[in-house]
Amino acid sequence: MSQWIAAIARGHNSGLCLLKDGEIVLSIEEERLSRNKYDGGPYACMTRILDFTDTIDYLVIAHTQPLSEAGHCDFSGDPIYVALARKLGLIDRKANPNQHPQVIDLSSTHHKLHAACAFYRSGFSRAAAVVVDGAGTFIPMNINGQDEMTWELESMFNCEYPSEFKTIYKHQGGRGPWNSVRFEEFSSAREGEEGTHEMILDDTAGITKAYEAVTQYCGWSPIEAGKTMGLFPYGNFNDDIPDVYTDHNGASEWKTSNRDLIIPTYPNGALVNQGRFKYLKTDYDFEGDMTLLQNRRDMAYAIQVESQQMVLDLIRKVVNMTGQTNVVLTGGYALNCVANYWYLEQLKDEGINLFVEPVSNDAGTAIGAALLQYHRVTKDAQVREPLKDLYTGFEYMYSTDQIVDTADKYGSTRVFEATNKDVIDLITNKNIVAIFQGRSEAGPRALGNRSILYDPRDPDGKDFVNKVKNREYFRPFAGSILKEHVHEWFDLRGMDETPFMMYAVKCQDGIEEKIPAIIHVDGTCRIQTVTEEQNKNYYDLIKEFYEATGCPIVFNTSFNLGGEPLVETIDDACRTLSESDIEYLYLPEHGLMIEAKN
């Protein structure tokens, strides 16, 4: 019989990973089904397990707080996720609901689950892991005789098959105030972290929380840190902004965020102390676009430059501590494409092999939990192949009648037969064409299955598509390029490919004027390399564009509107057409095009 393991991530970016005999058959975030950005509580995801199997061997829970604090089912009293799995028949309905043998709660090891996700998908047999996250597991401690709550900020692990993840470093933060302290050998009896490791305990914000503070200072939700990354090249170094991270008590090997500048508000975030610094102040009656203020731009510049240096220091530190030259990087900060590319230049002569996990947000902890449970139970020590693609969502088998009916439901003008050539003709004539095909992508990047396509050669393309998507003016776009041409157009700094769009790479000399719509103000582009093996339909379309134009790259952005998740179903896709100025939707598997009524 097959072994089925389902793992869920409960918090923001909640999601599900379903394994069959150790292989991922489904990985999807709740927001794709619920249509609420960053949605928590993967209830809809859990119901869809029944699409694959009517029973599972294990339900593994990932979060930052124990399952017992997740809420309970009325009357029966079992934890809500256990109750849902029981009611669906996925686990034994008669087992003790509060000590269910099929339910494994790994919520006390949030950072370890991030590390497991990255390690098992890296292709490395052994590696060191660096996790840079907002606020991971809630860890109670007795400090100066007082019971206090602390949170994981940054962690390091030594990773080996089949399931060894030894903690070697941890930075924990809390509300304080207390004197910051560094333990060279902190003794821990906490489950999943037994033994000793280096630890820093303080009441400052971590690397990611400081970045979130600046994000909020720029006018957004703290979780929208990608916007700060897009704004950073509009800023400059400014002496009026103090250092975001400072040496602790003069100890250069130990830096923490500057508490005079960044005020932590654990566990939810941190704030920029603009009242203390004249340059950072804003008139309270200001009602314009914050991103046009130079202090916001300069603060975005400061946090990007300083935070990426902090992470680079951690990468070098873990190599020095472990002797490992294979390093995996994960946690929310690892989605920083600008920093990821910068590390490649800084580390080029140090012999370090760096793998950055593309599902580094909290949805990745479901993947890590599932894979960790599999290797723990089976003791399987065979090294997994490196991650090949992220097309692990649902695949929808629609009939032509269903497509036509859905298009009619949202008032589309017509549905007609179309080919790649028709797509090329449309986008080269300044039309936007969305593409919907195959399995939806895991993670936050659109990789050609739920994408919006346009001509990257249009000088006005960036402003045009940003307006259509209701996005801010400063946010850059990505490009998808035939792998065999990537080095002619972009400097990958030693990489052979970048299929997951995790690096904002520099274009080669003379390229910027050829594809101005997707080159950011700093001369970079977030690039996805594409091969025929990875995505044949998408590859063939880009190849046809190349043959028609001499340009082997298409403008690619996520198929959604500002503030919405990526579309998941054909209904989502047609509704998005009806609510926007996107003109066309291409379904290559069906050879059909839907024209919107705009």
Question: Which CATH number does the domain housing residue 267 bear?
Answer: 3.30.420.40
What burial class does residue 176 get, using C-beta atoms within 10 Å of its C-beta: 0-12 exposed, 13-18 middle, 19+ buried? middle
Q: Are residues 100 and 130 in the same domain?
A: no
In which band, very low, low, confident or very high, does the pLDDT at 249 lie, cut at 50, 70 and 90? low
Residue where one domain finishes, among candidates 301, 324, 356: 356
In this structure, is residue 388 part of a structural domain? Answer: no
In the listed set 310, 345, 378, which residue is the last one of a domain according to the structure? 378
Q: Is the pLDDT of residue 342 over 70?
A: yes
Separation in Å, CA 189 to CA 186, 193, 194: 10, 7, 5
Domain boundary among 378, 409, 431: 378
**Tokens describing residue 408:** 């009619």
Whats the size of the chain, residue-wise?
598
The answer to whether the pTM exceeds 0.85 is: yes
Burial of residue 434 (CB within 10 Å: 0-12, 13-18, 19+) is buried
* Residue 362 included in any domain: no
If you average pLDDT over residues 249-260, what whole number do you get? 74
Residue range 553-586, pLDDT digits in tens: 999 999 998 889 999 999 999 999 999 999 999 9
| Alpha-carbon dihedral sign for residues 538, 540, 546, 552 | positive
Around Cβ 230, how many Cβ atoms within 10 Å? 23
- How confident is the model over 474-518, as pLDDT tens digits? 999 999 999 999 999 999 999 999 999 999 999 999 999 999 999
Asked if residue 53 is part of any domain, the answer here is yes
Q: Would 113 be classed as within a structural domain?
A: no
Distances (CA, A) of 450 to 15, 163, 226, 442, 443: 18, 34, 19, 11, 12
Residue 352 lies in a domain: yes
> Residue 215: what residue type?
T
Compute the average pLDDT of residues 131-148. 88
What is the predicted pLDDT for the residue at 94? 85
Percent of the chain with pLDDT over 90: 79
C-alpha distances in angstroms, 351 versus 115, 293, 326, 330, 495? 21, 41, 9, 20, 13
What is the model's pLDDT at position 98? 77
Asked whether residue 250 falls in the same domain as residue 293, the answer is yes
389-417: average pLDDT = 94
Q: What is the CATH number of the domain that holds 509?
A: 3.90.870.20
Note whether 233 and 283 are same-domain residues. yes
As a whole number, mean pLDDT of residues 46-61 equals 97
Predicted pLDDT of residue 299: 97
**Residue range 291-313, pLDDT digits in tens:** 999 999 999 999 999 999 999 99
Query: pLDDT tens across 162-204, in order?
Result: 999 999 999 998 887 777 788 888 888 777 777 889 989 988 8
pLDDT for 206 beyond 70: yes
Summarize the confidence of residues 215-240 as an average pLDDT.
Answer: 94
Please report how many Cα atoms fall inside a 13 Å half-sphere around the Cα of residue 568, on the Cβ side.
20
Is residue 348 over pLDDT 60? yes
For position 284, what pLDDT does the model report? 64
67, pLDDT greater than 90: no
Work out how many domains the chain is built from and give that number. Answer: 3
Residues 492 and 579 in one domain: yes
Q: Read off the DSSP letter of residue 440.
A: P
Domain that holds residue 531: 400-595
Q: Which pLDDT band holds residue 598 (cuts at 50, 70, 90)?
A: low
> Does a structural domain hold residue 519?
yes
**314 and 433 together in one domain:** no
Residues 433, 580: one domain?
yes
pLDDT at 252: 54
Give, in order, the Cα–Cα distances in Å from 375 to each of 4, 21, 369, 378, 489. Answer: 13, 10, 10, 5, 41
Can you give the pLDDT at residue 243?
95
In a domain, 115, yes or no: no
Taking the alpha carbons at both ends of the chain, their separation in whole angstroms is 53
Same domain, residue pair 98 and 210: no
Q: Are 225 and 351 contained in the same domain? A: yes
Residue 110 in domain = no
Residue 250's pLDDT is what? 55
Look at residue 491 in the predicted model and tell me its pLDDT: 97
Q: Identify which of 148, 156, 209, 212 has the alpha carbon closest to the alpha carbon of residue 181.
A: 148
The whole-number pLDDT of residue 591 equals: 97
Pair (14, 133) in one structural domain: no
Residue 256, amino acid: T
Report percent pLDDT > 70 for the chain.
Answer: 98
When pLDDT is cut at 50, 70 and 90, the band that residue 251 belongs to is low
Is the domain of 66 the same as that of 150?
A: no
Mean pLDDT of the chain: 93
**Based on the domain organization, do 77 and 14 belong to the same domain?**
yes
Same domain, 470 and 326: no
Higher-pLDDT residue of 506 and 146 is 506
Q: DSSP letter string over 292-356?
A: GSHHHHHHHHHHHHHHHHHHHHHHHHHHHHH--SEEEEESGGGG-HHHHHHHHHHTTTTT-EEEE
CATH of the domain at 47: 3.30.420
